[in-house]
Homo-oligomer: A and B are copies of this chain.
Amino acid sequence: MLEGIPKQVKIVEVGPRDGLQNESRHVPTADKVRLIEALAAAGLKNIEVTSFVSPKWIPQLADGLEVCRSLQLPVDVIKTALVPNMKGYETACQAGLSHIALFMSTTESHSKKNINKSVDEALATLGELSKQAKSDGKWVRCYLSVVFECPYEGTVSPDQVARITDKLVELGVDEISLGDTIGAATPRQVENVVKLVLRSTEISKLALHFHDTRGTALANVLAGLELGISIFDSSLGGMGGCPYAPGAAGNLATEDLVYMLEGMGVKTGVDLEKLVDAGCLAEELLEKKLPGRYLRACLSTREKENCSKAGTASAVKQ
Protein backbone atom coordinates (compact mmCIF):
# COMPACT_ATOMS: atom_id res chain seq x y z
CA MET A 1 0.00 0.00 0.00
CA LEU A 2 2.87 2.42 0.62
CA GLU A 3 5.09 1.11 -2.17
CA GLY A 4 4.09 3.74 -4.70
CA ILE A 5 4.40 6.87 -2.58
CA PRO A 6 6.78 9.66 -3.63
CA LYS A 7 10.42 9.16 -2.63
CA GLN A 8 10.91 12.83 -1.85
CA VAL A 9 8.67 15.77 -1.14
CA LYS A 10 8.79 19.54 -1.20
CA ILE A 11 7.84 21.16 2.09
CA VAL A 12 6.56 24.73 1.99
CA GLU A 13 7.25 26.37 5.34
CA VAL A 14 4.51 28.89 6.10
CA GLY A 15 5.37 29.69 9.73
CA PRO A 16 6.89 33.15 9.26
CA ARG A 17 3.73 34.26 7.45
CA ASP A 18 0.77 32.07 8.44
CA GLY A 19 2.21 31.60 11.92
CA LEU A 20 3.29 35.10 12.84
CA GLN A 21 0.23 36.79 11.34
CA ASN A 22 -1.87 35.08 13.99
CA GLU A 23 0.32 35.92 16.94
CA SER A 24 -0.63 38.89 19.05
CA ARG A 25 2.95 39.38 20.17
CA HIS A 26 5.03 41.85 18.14
CA VAL A 27 8.19 40.21 16.81
CA PRO A 28 10.87 42.76 15.81
CA THR A 29 12.12 42.63 12.20
CA ALA A 30 15.59 41.43 13.16
CA ASP A 31 14.06 38.50 15.08
CA LYS A 32 11.86 37.54 12.13
CA VAL A 33 14.97 37.50 9.99
CA ARG A 34 16.79 35.29 12.53
CA LEU A 35 13.84 32.91 12.57
CA ILE A 36 13.66 32.63 8.78
CA GLU A 37 17.41 32.13 8.58
CA ALA A 38 17.14 29.35 11.20
CA LEU A 39 14.49 27.65 9.05
CA ALA A 40 16.76 27.84 6.02
CA ALA A 41 19.65 26.51 8.11
CA ALA A 42 17.49 23.46 8.89
CA GLY A 43 17.31 22.74 5.17
CA LEU A 44 13.94 24.21 4.22
CA LYS A 45 14.11 25.40 0.62
CA ASN A 46 10.67 26.98 0.26
CA ILE A 47 9.73 29.55 2.85
CA GLU A 48 6.82 31.96 2.87
CA VAL A 49 8.53 34.84 4.58
CA THR A 50 5.77 37.44 4.94
CA SER A 51 2.64 38.90 3.39
CA PHE A 52 1.97 42.24 1.79
CA VAL A 53 -1.52 42.63 3.16
CA SER A 54 -2.48 46.06 4.52
CA PRO A 55 -0.95 46.67 7.99
CA LYS A 56 -4.42 47.81 8.99
CA TRP A 57 -5.48 44.14 8.77
CA ILE A 58 -2.28 42.38 9.71
CA PRO A 59 -0.04 44.76 11.69
CA GLN A 60 2.20 41.83 12.70
CA LEU A 61 3.62 41.68 9.17
CA ALA A 62 3.79 45.43 8.44
CA ASP A 63 7.57 45.13 8.08
CA GLY A 64 7.42 42.61 5.18
CA LEU A 65 9.52 44.69 2.81
CA GLU A 66 12.22 45.22 5.42
CA VAL A 67 12.21 41.51 6.28
CA CYS A 68 12.73 40.55 2.63
CA ARG A 69 15.51 43.09 2.20
CA SER A 70 17.32 41.99 5.36
CA LEU A 71 17.31 38.25 4.71
CA GLN A 72 20.60 36.55 3.91
CA LEU A 73 19.55 33.17 2.58
CA PRO A 74 21.39 30.55 0.53
CA VAL A 75 20.69 31.02 -3.21
CA ASP A 76 18.70 27.80 -3.47
CA VAL A 77 16.12 28.94 -0.90
CA ILE A 78 12.95 30.25 -2.52
CA LYS A 79 11.16 33.05 -0.69
CA THR A 80 7.48 33.66 -1.29
CA ALA A 81 5.11 36.26 0.12
CA LEU A 82 1.35 36.40 0.25
CA VAL A 83 -0.14 39.10 -1.97
CA PRO A 84 -3.84 40.12 -1.80
CA ASN A 85 -3.96 42.88 -4.42
CA MET A 86 -1.98 44.97 -6.93
CA LYS A 87 -0.57 47.19 -4.20
CA GLY A 88 0.76 44.15 -2.36
CA TYR A 89 2.08 42.77 -5.62
CA GLU A 90 4.03 45.97 -6.28
CA THR A 91 5.59 45.78 -2.84
CA ALA A 92 6.54 42.15 -3.49
CA CYS A 93 8.26 43.36 -6.66
CA GLN A 94 10.10 46.06 -4.71
CA ALA A 95 11.16 43.33 -2.29
CA GLY A 96 12.73 41.53 -5.24
CA LEU A 97 10.61 38.39 -4.95
CA SER A 98 10.42 36.05 -7.94
CA HIS A 99 7.73 33.88 -6.31
CA ILE A 100 4.38 35.13 -5.04
CA ALA A 101 1.38 33.52 -3.39
CA LEU A 102 -2.24 34.52 -3.96
CA PHE A 103 -5.26 33.24 -2.09
CA MET A 104 -9.00 32.75 -2.31
CA SER A 105 -11.75 30.73 -0.68
CA THR A 106 -13.68 27.79 -2.05
CA THR A 107 -17.05 28.80 -0.60
CA GLU A 108 -19.11 31.96 -1.02
CA SER A 109 -19.62 32.45 2.72
CA HIS A 110 -15.98 32.10 3.66
CA SER A 111 -14.94 34.32 0.75
CA LYS A 112 -17.38 37.03 1.84
CA LYS A 113 -16.29 36.87 5.47
CA ASN A 114 -12.59 36.69 4.65
CA ILE A 115 -12.17 39.22 1.84
CA ASN A 116 -15.69 40.58 1.29
CA LYS A 117 -15.83 39.26 -2.26
CA SER A 118 -17.78 36.52 -3.96
CA VAL A 119 -15.84 33.55 -5.33
CA ASP A 120 -16.13 34.92 -8.88
CA GLU A 121 -15.00 38.38 -7.80
CA ALA A 122 -12.04 36.80 -6.02
CA LEU A 123 -11.21 34.83 -9.16
CA ALA A 124 -11.32 38.04 -11.21
CA THR A 125 -8.87 39.85 -8.90
CA LEU A 126 -6.69 36.79 -8.80
CA GLY A 127 -6.76 36.61 -12.60
CA GLU A 128 -5.48 40.19 -12.91
CA LEU A 129 -2.73 39.61 -10.39
CA SER A 130 -1.73 36.32 -11.91
CA LYS A 131 -1.65 37.82 -15.43
CA GLN A 132 0.59 40.66 -14.30
CA ALA A 133 2.86 38.32 -12.34
CA LYS A 134 3.21 35.85 -15.19
CA SER A 135 3.97 38.65 -17.66
CA ASP A 136 6.66 39.82 -15.21
CA GLY A 137 8.11 36.30 -15.29
CA LYS A 138 7.12 35.42 -11.75
CA TRP A 139 6.07 32.06 -10.34
CA VAL A 140 2.60 32.02 -8.81
CA ARG A 141 1.13 29.83 -6.07
CA CYS A 142 -2.50 30.04 -4.99
CA TYR A 143 -3.87 29.05 -1.58
CA LEU A 144 -7.37 27.73 -1.86
CA SER A 145 -9.06 27.90 1.55
CA VAL A 146 -11.80 25.73 3.14
CA VAL A 147 -11.41 23.05 0.48
CA PHE A 148 -12.90 20.25 2.61
CA GLU A 149 -15.00 21.78 5.38
CA CYS A 150 -16.23 25.36 5.66
CA PRO A 151 -17.11 26.82 9.07
CA TYR A 152 -20.18 28.46 7.51
CA GLU A 153 -21.30 25.97 4.85
CA GLY A 154 -20.16 22.59 6.19
CA THR A 155 -18.78 19.93 3.88
CA VAL A 156 -17.62 21.38 0.58
CA SER A 157 -18.54 19.66 -2.66
CA PRO A 158 -15.49 18.26 -4.49
CA ASP A 159 -17.07 19.55 -7.73
CA GLN A 160 -16.90 23.09 -6.42
CA VAL A 161 -13.20 22.64 -5.61
CA ALA A 162 -12.46 21.20 -9.05
CA ARG A 163 -14.34 24.02 -10.76
CA ILE A 164 -12.04 26.53 -9.07
CA THR A 165 -8.81 24.59 -9.54
CA ASP A 166 -9.60 24.30 -13.25
CA LYS A 167 -9.96 28.09 -13.43
CA LEU A 168 -6.75 28.62 -11.51
CA VAL A 169 -4.86 26.43 -13.96
CA GLU A 170 -6.41 28.39 -16.85
CA LEU A 171 -5.17 31.58 -15.20
CA GLY A 172 -1.63 30.24 -15.33
CA VAL A 173 -1.19 29.53 -11.61
CA ASP A 174 1.88 27.29 -11.13
CA GLU A 175 0.93 25.64 -7.85
CA ILE A 176 -2.37 25.25 -6.01
CA SER A 177 -2.36 24.59 -2.28
CA LEU A 178 -5.57 22.88 -1.17
CA GLY A 179 -6.20 24.07 2.38
CA ASP A 180 -8.06 22.38 5.23
CA THR A 181 -8.38 25.78 6.87
CA ILE A 182 -10.30 24.66 9.96
CA GLY A 183 -8.50 21.33 10.35
CA ALA A 184 -11.62 19.22 9.93
CA ALA A 185 -10.81 17.01 6.94
CA THR A 186 -10.47 13.26 7.17
CA PRO A 187 -8.52 11.00 4.78
CA ARG A 188 -11.52 9.93 2.75
CA GLN A 189 -12.37 13.55 1.98
CA VAL A 190 -8.79 14.14 0.94
CA GLU A 191 -9.03 11.18 -1.39
CA ASN A 192 -12.36 12.30 -2.85
CA VAL A 193 -11.31 15.89 -3.50
CA VAL A 194 -7.80 15.18 -4.75
CA LYS A 195 -8.95 12.41 -7.09
CA LEU A 196 -11.48 14.72 -8.71
CA VAL A 197 -9.07 17.64 -9.00
CA LEU A 198 -6.46 15.34 -10.56
CA ARG A 199 -8.78 14.58 -13.46
CA SER A 200 -7.90 17.95 -14.95
CA THR A 201 -4.90 19.24 -13.00
CA GLU A 202 -1.33 17.93 -13.17
CA ILE A 203 -0.28 16.34 -9.92
CA SER A 204 2.96 18.36 -9.89
CA LYS A 205 0.87 21.52 -9.45
CA LEU A 206 -0.93 20.33 -6.32
CA ALA A 207 0.05 20.97 -2.72
CA LEU A 208 -1.85 20.02 0.44
CA HIS A 209 -2.13 22.31 3.44
CA PHE A 210 -3.47 20.73 6.63
CA HIS A 211 -4.25 22.01 10.09
CA ASP A 212 -3.98 19.69 13.07
CA THR A 213 -7.00 21.03 14.96
CA ARG A 214 -8.47 17.55 15.40
CA GLY A 215 -5.27 15.49 15.18
CA THR A 216 -5.91 14.31 11.60
CA ALA A 217 -3.23 16.30 9.75
CA LEU A 218 -0.66 13.52 9.31
CA ALA A 219 -3.31 10.95 8.44
CA ASN A 220 -4.41 13.37 5.71
CA VAL A 221 -0.81 13.76 4.56
CA LEU A 222 -0.58 9.97 4.33
CA ALA A 223 -3.74 9.91 2.21
CA GLY A 224 -2.20 12.58 -0.02
CA LEU A 225 1.08 10.69 -0.35
CA GLU A 226 -0.78 7.57 -1.39
CA LEU A 227 -2.43 9.60 -4.14
CA GLY A 228 1.02 10.71 -5.29
CA ILE A 229 1.00 14.26 -3.91
CA SER A 230 4.53 15.44 -3.14
CA ILE A 231 4.10 19.04 -1.93
CA PHE A 232 2.97 19.73 1.64
CA ASP A 233 2.69 22.98 3.59
CA SER A 234 3.52 23.16 7.28
CA SER A 235 4.44 25.62 9.96
CA LEU A 236 7.31 25.52 12.44
CA GLY A 237 6.02 24.27 15.80
CA GLY A 238 2.44 24.37 14.46
CA MET A 239 2.33 28.17 14.68
CA GLY A 240 -0.72 29.90 13.28
CA GLY A 241 -4.20 29.24 12.03
CA CYS A 242 -6.82 31.40 10.37
CA PRO A 243 -8.29 34.35 12.26
CA TYR A 244 -11.42 34.21 10.10
CA ALA A 245 -12.19 30.54 10.74
CA PRO A 246 -13.85 30.01 14.14
CA GLY A 247 -12.38 27.09 16.06
CA ALA A 248 -9.33 26.90 13.82
CA ALA A 249 -6.06 26.28 15.58
CA GLY A 250 -2.64 25.14 14.60
CA ASN A 251 -1.12 24.44 11.24
CA LEU A 252 0.46 21.03 10.85
CA ALA A 253 3.83 21.32 12.61
CA THR A 254 6.81 21.05 10.26
CA GLU A 255 8.69 18.83 12.72
CA ASP A 256 5.81 16.33 12.90
CA LEU A 257 5.64 16.25 9.09
CA VAL A 258 9.39 15.78 8.69
CA TYR A 259 9.48 13.13 11.44
CA MET A 260 6.80 11.02 9.77
CA LEU A 261 8.12 11.42 6.24
CA GLU A 262 11.74 10.68 7.06
CA GLY A 263 10.57 7.76 9.22
CA MET A 264 8.86 6.40 6.13
CA GLY A 265 11.96 6.86 4.00
CA VAL A 266 10.56 9.89 2.18
CA LYS A 267 13.29 12.52 1.76
CA THR A 268 12.56 16.07 2.91
CA GLY A 269 16.04 17.57 2.94
CA VAL A 270 15.35 18.86 6.44
CA ASP A 271 17.57 18.33 9.49
CA LEU A 272 15.15 17.59 12.32
CA GLU A 273 17.51 18.62 15.12
CA LYS A 274 18.14 22.00 13.52
CA LEU A 275 14.42 22.37 13.00
CA VAL A 276 13.90 21.83 16.73
CA ASP A 277 16.51 24.52 17.35
CA ALA A 278 14.45 26.85 15.15
CA GLY A 279 11.36 25.83 17.17
CA CYS A 280 13.18 26.78 20.39
CA LEU A 281 13.97 30.16 18.89
CA ALA A 282 10.32 30.66 17.88
CA GLU A 283 9.21 29.86 21.43
CA GLU A 284 11.70 32.38 22.79
CA LEU A 285 10.57 35.09 20.39
CA LEU A 286 6.87 34.47 20.99
CA GLU A 287 7.36 33.79 24.71
CA LYS A 288 5.04 30.82 24.59
CA LYS A 289 5.02 27.10 24.04
CA LEU A 290 4.11 25.95 20.56
CA PRO A 291 1.71 23.03 19.99
CA GLY A 292 3.83 20.85 17.67
CA ARG A 293 3.98 17.37 19.19
CA TYR A 294 7.46 16.37 18.09
CA LEU A 295 8.78 19.71 19.34
CA ARG A 296 7.14 19.22 22.74
CA ALA A 297 8.41 15.63 23.06
CA CYS A 298 11.89 16.67 22.01
CA LEU A 299 12.06 19.69 24.32
CA SER A 300 10.78 17.66 27.24
CA THR A 301 13.62 15.16 26.62
CA ARG A 302 16.16 17.97 26.24
CA GLU A 303 14.86 19.47 29.48
CA LYS A 304 15.29 16.14 31.26
CA GLU A 305 18.81 15.85 29.93
CA ASN A 306 19.40 19.36 31.27
CA CYS A 307 20.45 20.39 27.81
CA SER A 308 22.70 23.41 27.81
CA LYS A 309 22.40 24.15 24.12
CA ALA A 310 22.72 27.85 23.41
CA GLY A 311 19.42 29.51 22.76
CA THR A 312 17.20 26.78 24.16
CA ALA A 313 17.63 27.27 27.87
CA SER A 314 14.99 29.90 28.42
CA ALA A 315 12.49 28.22 26.11
CA VAL A 316 12.52 24.85 27.80
CA LYS A 317 12.23 26.24 31.28
CA GLN A 318 8.78 27.71 30.73
Contact = CB atoms under 8 A, between A and B. Distances in A.
Nearest to A218: B219
A290 interface: no
A310 interface: no
A215 B293 contact: yes
Interface string A279-302: 000000000000011101100110
Interface string A202-216: 000000000011111
Interface in A245-266: 246-247, 249, 253, 256, 259-260, 263-265
A74 to B, nearest CB: 28
Interface stretch (A10-18, A25-33, A108-116, A183-191): A183-191
A304 interface: yes
A2 interface: yes
A136 B214 CA distance: 43
Chain A interface size, as a band, is: 35 or more
Given A186-B264, A219-B218, A297 B259 contact: no
B215 A260 contact: yes
Nearest to A1: B226
Contacts of A1: 1, 191, 223, 226-227
A293 B191 contact: no
A221 interface: yes
A189 B263 contact: yes
Given A215-B218, A215-B292, A247-B300, A187 B223 contact: no
A214 B263 CA distance: 11
B292 A259 contact: no
Closest 3 CB pairs of A and B: A186-B263, A215-B256, A215-B293
Interface of A: 1-2, 183-189, 191, 212-219, 221-223, 226-227, 246-247, 249, 253, 256, 259-260, 263-265, 292-294, 296-297, 300-301, 304
